[in-house]
A and B are shown apart, each in its own frame.
Chain A
Amino acid sequence: MSEREVLELLRENARYSTADIARMTDLEEDEVEAAIAELEAAGVVRGYQAVVDWDKLEDERVRAEVELNVRLDRETGYGDIAERLARFPQVKALRLVSGDYDFDMEVEGDSIREVSQFISEKVAPVPEITQTVTHYVMTSYKENGIELGDGDEDDRLSVSP
Chain B
Amino acid sequence: MTFELSDRVQAVPPSGIRRFFEIAEERDEVISLGVGEPDFSTPWAARDAAITSLEQGKTSYTANRGKRELREAISDYVADRFDLGYGADEEIIVTAGASEAVDLAFRALVDPGDTVAIAQPSYISYEPGVIFAGGEVLSVPTKKEDDFRLTVDALEAAGASEADLLVLCYPNNPTGAIMRESDLEPVAEFAREHDLTVLADEIYAELTYEGDHTSIATLPGMRERTVVFNGFSKAHAMTGLRLGYALGPADVIGAMNKIHQYTMLSAPTTAQHAALEALDSCDGDVREMVEQYDRRRQFVLSRFREIGMDVFEAKGAFYCFPEVPEGWTAEEFAEAVLREQGVAVVPGDVFGAGGEGHLRVSYATGLDDLRKALNRLEAFVEDHV
B-binding residues in A (CB < 8 A) = 9, 13, 20, 22-26, 152, 154, 156-161
Contact = CB atoms under 8 A, between A and B. Distances in A.
Nearest to B123: A161
Interface in B12-60: 15, 17, 20-21, 24-25, 30, 32, 34-37, 39, 41
Given A159-B346, A160-B37, A161-B173, 20 more contacts: A20-B367, A23-B298, A23-B303, A24-B299, A25-B295, A25-B298, A156-B37, A157-B21, A158-B21, A158-B35, A159-B17, A159-B20, A159-B32, A159-B35, A159-B344, A160-B34, A160-B36, A161-B123, A161-B124, A161-B125
Nearest to A27: B298
A157 B36 CA distance: 9
B305 to A, nearest CB: 10
A160 B173 CA distance: 12
Contact of B17 (A22, A156, A161): A161
Contacts of B344: 158-159
Contacts of A9: 295
B34 A24 contact: no
A157 B41 CA distance: 14
Contacts of B15: 161
B296 A24 contact: yes
B371 interface: yes
Contacts of B36: 160-161
A159 B303 contact: no
Contacts of B125: 161
A159 B295 contact: no
Contacts of A25: 295, 298
18 contacts: A20-B299, A24-B295, A24-B367, A25-B295, A26-B298, A152-B41, A154-B39, A156-B37, A157-B21, A158-B24, A158-B34, A159-B20, A159-B34, A159-B35, A159-B344, A159-B346, A161-B124, A161-B173
A157 B303 contact: no
The main secondary structure of chain A at its interface with chain B is loop
B302 interface: yes
Nearest to B305: A23
Nearest to B15: A161
A20 B35 contact: no
Interface residues of B, number: 28
A3 to B, nearest CB: 16
Contacts of A160: 17, 21, 34-37
B37 A24 contact: no
Nearest to B298: A24
Interface in B116-149: 123-125
Interface in B286-311: 295-296, 298-299, 302-303
A23 B17 CA distance: 30
Contact of A156 (B39, B302, B367): B39
Give the most central of A23, A25, A154: most B CB within 10 Å.
Answer: A23
Contacts of B37: 156, 160
Contacts of A161: 15, 17, 36, 123-125, 173
A33 to B, nearest CB: 17
Contacts of B34: 158-160
A156 B39 CA distance: 8
B296 A158 contact: no
Give the most central of A23, A154, A161: most B CB within 10 Å.
Answer: A161
Contacts of A24: 295-296, 298-299, 367
A51 B31 CA distance: 26
